[in-house]
Amino acid sequence: MTDITCDVCMDLLPLVQDGIASEDSKVLVEEHIKNCSACAKLYDVKAVPVVNSEKLFMKFKRKAQAFFAILIMFGLFFGLGLTDGREMFYNSLIMPVIGVLGYIVFRWKALYVLPALMLVMHIMIFVLNLIRRVEYWDFYSLVMWTVIYGIFVIVGVVIAGLLHFAFRKESGYEK
């Protein structure tokens, strides 16, 4: 057999340890290890443990969903806070974005989770305004604005869902 240098052996060593090297490469490395104690020490050292990518991905996904959930809460409070002022028409932009974020976190459940969450938050703001004796709306206008903003949120969820459907990878298509 042909003898290889230590540099070539070190290049092939990770491939041999992972089991993806060809038979000829395995033979060359094993022959070299019999004669070279320095390379034999490196061969005996265990390779870096393989990271469980699925577990790492799920951890990242949970953190991202928590971040988006916080953004949803902040966006809803911010948007509902704008309802009393002249900036309330910014909600026509804010609420669909909240719908998109809701789709990222809840998928299609966002169609009913976000409007329900919005109603609860609107009622909380209504009760806090009653306690503070600040100008407040009657309950019917509160429900009306919740329905209007809920429609904007649902539009955002539907847009995000359709974009997700349009750009997903097709698993059965192999040409």
66 lies in the same domain as 152: yes
The angle subtended at Cα 75 by Cα 71 and Cα 77, nearest 5°, is 120
58 lies in the same domain as 10: no
97 lies in the same domain as 36: no
Beta carbons within 10 angstroms of residue 82's beta carbon? 15
66 lies in the same domain as 36: no
The angle subtended at Cα 59 by Cα 166 and Cα 161, nearest 5°, is 20
Mean pLDDT of 61-80: 90
6-32 pLDDT tens trace: 888 888 888 888 788 889 888 888 888
Is 73 inside a domain boundary?
A: yes
109 lies in the same domain as 157: yes
Amino acid at 28: L
Counting the structural domains of the chain, the total is 2
Quote the CA–CA distance of 111 and 151 in Å, as a whole number: 10
What range defines the domain where residue 79 resides? 53-167
Non-local CB neighbours of 100 within 8 Å, separated by 6+ positions: 156, 157, 159, 160
Our measurement of the distance from residue 121's CA atom to the centroid of its chain's CA atoms, rounded to an integer in Å, reads: 25
Quote the CA–CA distance of 45 and 16 in Å, as a whole number: 13
Sign for the CA dihedral angle at 28, 33, 35, 39 comes to positive
79 lies in the same domain as 158: yes
25 lies in the same domain as 101: no
pLDDT of residue 166: 92
22 lies in the same domain as 86: no
Is 94 inside a domain boundary?
A: yes
90-121 pLDDT tens trace: 989 999 999 999 999 999 999 999 989 888 88
76 lies in the same domain as 152: yes
